[in-house]
Chains A and B, each alone.
Chain A
C-alpha cells in the first residue's frame, strides 16, 4: 500500500526538494528588499549593540575571557539560528498546507528545509562575527575545523525539535506559545549574555555543569572555546569530564529520535489532519 510518508521512496528527491524549498525561502528573504542582507544583519547587530552596552558598561559580567564582545555576538547569532530553525518549524507544515494537501512528496522535506534556510541565514550572519573577531585581534586557528562539526550537531538538535514541533502543531495549536516560552528560557538559561566563567565564579561549578547539560549551551560553549579563544571554558571542562558530555549528546540523540519517530508516525495523516 502506498501512501504519504516522511521520507518517500526516493532519497534523491527528498534532498532536491529540501534544497529547493530552502533556496526559495532564502531568495524570498533577500530579493524582496533592496537592503536585504543589511536587514538580515540588523537584528543580531542591534541586539548585540544594546546588550554590549548594558553588560559591559552598566553591569560588568564579562569576566576574564578574551574577546567577550565577539563571543556575545556569536552567542546571539548561534541562538538566532536555533530559534529561527525551531521557531519557524512550528508552523512550517501548516504554512505549506497548499503543498501538503495537493501533492505527494516526502513530508520531512518541509521541516528539513526550514532548518536549512536558517542555516543559510546563519552562514551570512557569521561573516560579521569573523570580521569582528579578526578586527579585535583574533587569529584563525586549527580548532576552527571543529566548528562545522559542532554546527552539524546543533542542526541535528534543531531538526529534532523541528520535526517534533511541526508534527505536533498540526494537531495542537498551543505548541507555538509553549515553544516561545521554552526558547526564552533557553536564551537566558544558556551562557549567551554572560560568560560561563562568571557562572563558575559566582554560583559554583555545579551550577555551570548543570547549565551545560543543556545541549544548546554545551554546543555554544564549545563553539566559543574552539572558535573565539581557548580562554573560554570548554564544555568538557565546565561539565566536569568527557564522560559527562554524554548527557548533552544523549539529549540531542533523544530529541532527534523522538522528533523523527513522531514525524514518521504522523506523516501519513498530516494531509488529512490539517
Chain B
C-alpha cells in the first residue's frame, strides 16, 4: 500500500506564488510594499495609487517567474488587485509577570525592570484574499485567529509584516458596537453606523432600510434596554449589512441569535457573496467554513499550517485536534511556550491531561494510523450527505506480522450513542500481513444516518475474541452528516401510504 500524500500545497501556491515550504512568502512589487510600509496610507488612497500604476510597474521577474502576488494578479486579472494581502505578519504580546499598576510604584521604583512573558500570537503569517472571495480563518483556541483579525482590522498593531487592504473595510468582532441601552433605535443606529464608517448623511438616508430589514418599525422609539435580545441583534445585523463595505471582517458573530435569525444571517451572507463582497470569517465552526467559504486557512500556534479549500482545512483541523503528531508536538511545546490566550471560545474540543491514555489502548503491534470518510465519488470528505453512498476508511500499519486480524469501526453520534458498527468478526478473513506493511480498510454503506456529527472509533485486534486490542482509537475522527432532519437516529428509506374512506378500521394495518 502506498502512503497517502500528506503534504498539501496551498491554493496560493498552485496559483503561482513562489514557495520554498508550505509557509508561502508573498513578495510584493516594491512600489506597493514601500507605500504601505513607509507611509500609513489610507486603503482607498492606496487603491487609487495602485490603479494609476501602469502594468509595467509590476515587472515580471524573469529569474523567479511571477513572483509577486500583485504582479501575478495583474498578469491574470489586470483590473483586480487582491482584496487583502497579509505578508509575514508577526505579533507578540508581552505579558508582564508583575504588572505595575500605579504611578506611585513607577515613581518609587523607576528602574525596576519588569519581566515579561513573550507570547507569540502570530508568526510570519502570510496569505492573500481575492476580491469577492469568502475566506475562512480557522483554528483551535489560542491559535491566533482572532489576533490576526484584529491586526487586519487595525485594532492591534502588528510588530512586523505588512497588511495591504484594497477597499472599504468593516469589522464585526461584535454586533452592535457602541450600542447604548438608554437610547432609542435611531440614535444607536447613527452611532453604530458612524463607528463602522458611514457618514452621518448616509446613515440617516439608510435608517429606514435598516429598520425595515430588522423588522423593527413598531419599536423605533423604544429604548434599546426595552428590546429583547433578538431585536437588538437584528438591529445590529441590519446596520452591519447596510454599511456596504467591500471587505467584511467577521468574527463568530453568528454564534448569537436563534436558529431563525441565523438562517437569516446565512441568507444575507449568500446575498453579500453574490454582490462580490470579500468576506474574511474567523470561526472554529468547521460547518460554517464548509458552508460558506471558498477558501481558507488553518492557524495553529500563530502559524499557517494549511491553506486551501474547506475540505482540506477540515481534515487537517481534525488531524490537528486528534492526531498523535499534534499531541506530541503539543506536549513538547507545552514546556516552553504558554498557551496563547486570544479569546475564550466555548464548545471547543476538550482536552484531557493525557489524551492518549483516554482515547487509545492496545499493545500497538498493529496501529490505526488514520481514519477518514470518503464521499460517493471516493474523495475524502468531512461532511457526507444523507442518503448517499459513503465510505469510512482506516489505514492500519502492522508492526509485527499478523494472521487474520480483526478490524472494527463504529460510529457514535454527538450524544455518544453508538449508532452503527462494522467489523470482520463474522468474516471475511483478511489473511496474513507481514511486519511493516500497511493496509487500508474501507467500509462502504448507504448513509441512512440522521444529520449529526458522528465520531468514529477504529480498532484492530488479533484474531481472538475478547477485549484484547492491538490498537483501539476512540473518537479518532468525526464526520458531519448533512441533510434534512430525521425523526430518529437513522433515516431509513420508507414508503408512506394512505387509504381513504369513511370508516376504515381493521384494514389499516393490513
Q: Is the CB of B199 within 8 A of A12?
A: yes
B137-163: which have CB < 8 Å to A? 150-151, 153-158, 161-163
A104 CB contacts on chain B under 8 angstroms: 153-155, 171
Q: Is the CB of B191 within 8 A of A21?
A: yes
B251 to chain A, nearest CB (A): 9
Smallest CB gap from A104: residue in B: B154
Number of residues from A at the complex interface, CB < 8 A: 37
A118 at interface (Cβ–Cβ under 8 A)?
no
Q: Is the CB of B42 within 8 A of A1?
A: no
A268 at interface (Cβ–Cβ under 8 A)?
yes
In the complex, what distance in Å separates the CA atom of A168 from the CA atom of B197? Answer: 28
B178 at interface (Cβ–Cβ under 8 A)?
yes
B213 CB contacts on chain A under 8 angstroms: none
Q: Is the CB of B153 within 8 A of A103?
A: yes
Q: Is the CB of B194 within 8 A of A172?
A: no
B180 CB contacts on chain A under 8 angstroms: 24, 28
In the complex, what distance in Å separates the CA atom of A168 from the CA atom of B173? Answer: 26
In the complex, what distance in Å separates the CA atom of A140 from the CA atom of B104? Answer: 49
Q: Is the CB of B191 within 8 A of A103?
A: no
B199 CB contacts on chain A under 8 angstroms: 12, 16
A2 CB contacts on chain B under 8 angstroms: 36, 40, 43, 154, 163, 165
Contact (A20, B155) CB under 8 Å given A32-B182, A174-B102? no
B153 CB contacts on chain A under 8 angstroms: 103-104
A99 at interface (Cβ–Cβ under 8 A)?
yes
Contact pick for B40, options A9, A172, A174, CB 8 Å: A9
Contact pick for A174, options B41, B104, B151, B196, CB 8 Å: B104
Return the CB mask of A1-27 against B: 1 if under 8 Å, else 0.
111110001101100110011001001
In the complex, what distance in Å separates the CA atom of A13 from the CA atom of B100? Answer: 35
B117 at interface (Cβ–Cβ under 8 A)?
no
B167-209: which have CB < 8 Å to A? 171, 173-174, 177-178, 180, 182-183, 187, 190-191, 194-197, 199-200
B194 CB contacts on chain A under 8 angstroms: 16-17, 20
In the complex, what distance in Å separates the CA atom of A179 from the CA atom of B187? Answer: 33
B237 to chain A, nearest CB (A): 15
Q: Is the CB of A103 within 8 A of B103?
A: no
In the complex, what distance in Å separates the CA atom of A98 from the CA atom of B158? Answer: 20
B262 at interface (Cβ–Cβ under 8 A)?
no
A269 CB contacts on chain B under 8 angstroms: 157
Q: Is the CB of B40 within 8 A of A103?
A: no
Which one of A1, A9, A269 has the highest number of Cβ atoms from chain B below 10 Å of its Cβ?
A: A1
Q: Is the CB of A268 within 8 A of B157?
A: yes
B196 CB contacts on chain A under 8 angstroms: 103
A243 to chain B, nearest CB (A): 35
A155-209: which have CB < 8 Å to B? 168, 171-175, 178
Contact pick for B183, options A1, A17, A27, A98, CB 8 Å: A27
In the complex, what distance in Å separates the CA atom of A157 from the CA atom of B103? Answer: 22
B106 at interface (Cβ–Cβ under 8 A)?
yes
Contact (A3, B157) CB under 8 Å given A16-B194, A172-B106, A174-B104? yes
Smallest CB gap from A25: residue in B: B180
Q: Is the CB of B154 within 8 A of A4?
A: yes
A28 CB contacts on chain B under 8 angstroms: 180, 182-183
A179 to chain B, nearest CB (A): 11
Contact residue range for chain B?
A: 35 or more
Q: Is the CB of A102 within 8 A of B103?
A: no
Smallest CB gap from A101: residue in B: B155
A81 at interface (Cβ–Cβ under 8 A)?
no
Smallest CB gap from B194: residue in A: A20
In the complex, what distance in Å separates the CA atom of A166 from the CA atom of B100? Answer: 17
Q: Is the CB of B162 within 8 A of A1?
A: yes
A105 at interface (Cβ–Cβ under 8 A)?
yes
B157 CB contacts on chain A under 8 angstroms: 1, 3-4, 268-269
A272 at interface (Cβ–Cβ under 8 A)?
yes
In the complex, what distance in Å separates the CA atom of A81 from the CA atom of B180? Answer: 24
In the complex, what distance in Å separates the CA atom of A269 from the CA atom of B150? Answer: 12
B227 at interface (Cβ–Cβ under 8 A)?
no
In the complex, what distance in Å separates the CA atom of A13 from the CA atom of B180? Answer: 20
B324 at interface (Cβ–Cβ under 8 A)?
no
B173 CB contacts on chain A under 8 angstroms: 101-103
B240 to chain A, nearest CB (A): 11
A76 at interface (Cβ–Cβ under 8 A)?
no
Contact (A4, B155) CB under 8 Å given A24-B187, A178-B103? yes
B292 at interface (Cβ–Cβ under 8 A)?
no
B43 CB contacts on chain A under 8 angstroms: 2
Smallest CB gap from A172: residue in B: B103
B226 at interface (Cβ–Cβ under 8 A)?
no
In the complex, what distance in Å separates the CA atom of A83 from the CA atom of B162? Answer: 42
Smallest CB gap from B179: residue in A: A98
B41 CB contacts on chain A under 8 angstroms: 9
A29-58: which have CB < 8 Å to B? 31-32
In the complex, what distance in Å separates the CA atom of A272 from the CA atom of B194? Answer: 23
A21 CB contacts on chain B under 8 angstroms: 191
A271 at interface (Cβ–Cβ under 8 A)?
yes
B101 CB contacts on chain A under 8 angstroms: 172-174
B229 CB contacts on chain A under 8 angstroms: none
Q: Is the CB of A9 within 8 A of B158?
A: no
Contact pick for B174, options A4, A24, A102, A268, CB 8 Å: A102
Q: Is the CB of A103 within 8 A of B183?
A: no
B433 at interface (Cβ–Cβ under 8 A)?
no
In the complex, what distance in Å separates the CA atom of A269 from the CA atom of B93? Answer: 10
A83 to chain B, nearest CB (A): 20
B253 to chain A, nearest CB (A): 11
B401 at interface (Cβ–Cβ under 8 A)?
no
In the complex, what distance in Å separates the CA atom of A271 from the CA atom of B150? Answer: 10
A24 CB contacts on chain B under 8 angstroms: 180, 183, 187, 191
B233 to chain A, nearest CB (A): 15
B104 CB contacts on chain A under 8 angstroms: 174
A167 to chain B, nearest CB (A): 13
Contact (A3, B154) CB under 8 Å given A9-B41, A20-B190? yes
Contact (A99, B165) CB under 8 Å given A4-B154, A17-B194? no
Q: Is the CB of B200 within 8 A of A16?
A: yes
Smallest CB gap from B99: residue in A: A171
A5 CB contacts on chain B under 8 angstroms: 40
12 new A-B pairs (CB below 8 Å) besides A4-B156, A104-B171, A174-B103?
Answer: A3-B156, A4-B157, A102-B171, A103-B173, A103-B177, A105-B195, A172-B100, A172-B101, A174-B102, A174-B104, A271-B150, A272-B156
Considering the complex of A and B, which 9 residue pairs feature the smallest CB-CB distances, nearest first? A3-B157, A104-B154, A9-B42, A174-B102, A268-B157, A20-B194, A172-B103, A102-B173, A102-B177
Q: List 16 A-B contacts (CB under 8 A).
A: A1-B157, A4-B157, A9-B41, A9-B45, A20-B190, A28-B180, A31-B183, A100-B155, A103-B171, A103-B173, A103-B177, A172-B103, A173-B102, A174-B104, A269-B157, A272-B156
